[in-house]
Amino acid sequence: MKSVHDFSPAGFRAAYEEKGWSQGDVARAIGVSVNTVGRWVRGKGAPSPRLFSALLKELGVPRSRLLLPLSPDADLAVLRTRAGLRQEDVAERLGVQPSDVSEMELGTGRMREEWAVTLSSLYDVSLDRLVKAREETERRWRERFDAGRRGGR
């Protein structure tokens, strides 16, 4: 399972400290170990989309508070994990199979036009930003494909 991209350890720490919580309080609230929370604070890992959603709920903060600014080269998977969503969550909202979402994020499947408005809303980004993420996803796929072809010669 992917971790949330662009997770902000400093933003996370500030959010739970402002609430008067310790790392142990956070761990108990979302059902993880204190060591796990400590790793996130030190930037040695980040929560999964499911745990990220739990953090937002328990800390009562907006998603942007626990994230670094969105990178210009963010792809579709980054947008999804930043939204605290699993591929299964997105598939359910789109009425498709999780494999369709996986293929879209790998660049091997297309993002259907009729998905754009729903994805923009789910990921809380503009349609233009969504299109940029799709283009980045496809660019990375082409790079992997071309590298594979060169390596197979």
How far from the centroid of its chain's Cα atoms is residue 153's Cα?
Answer: 36
pLDDT at 1 over 60: no
pLDDT reported for residue 16:
98
* pLDDT at 94 exceeding the cut of 70: yes
Q: For the chain, give the number of residues.
A: 153
Higher per-residue confidence, 39 vs 5? 39
Confidence of residue 107 (pLDDT cuts 50, 70, 90): very high
* CA atoms of 27 and 33, how far apart (whole Å): 5
As beta bridge partners, residue 7 has 67
Provide the pLDDT for residue 89: 95
Domains recognised in the chain with CATH numbers? 9-66 (1.10.260.40), 76-151 (1.10.260.40)
Q: Is residue 31 exposed (0-12), middle (13-18) or buried (19+ Cβ within 10 Å)?
A: exposed
C-alpha to C-alpha distance for 40 and 47, rounded to whole angstroms: 7
- Classify 2 as helix, strand or coil: coil
pLDDT at position 153: 56
Q: What is the average pLDDT score of the chain?
A: 94
User: What per-residue confidence (pLDDT) applies to 152?
Assistant: 59
**How buried is residue 28: exposed, middle or buried, by Cβ count under 10 Å (0-12/13-18/19+)?**
middle
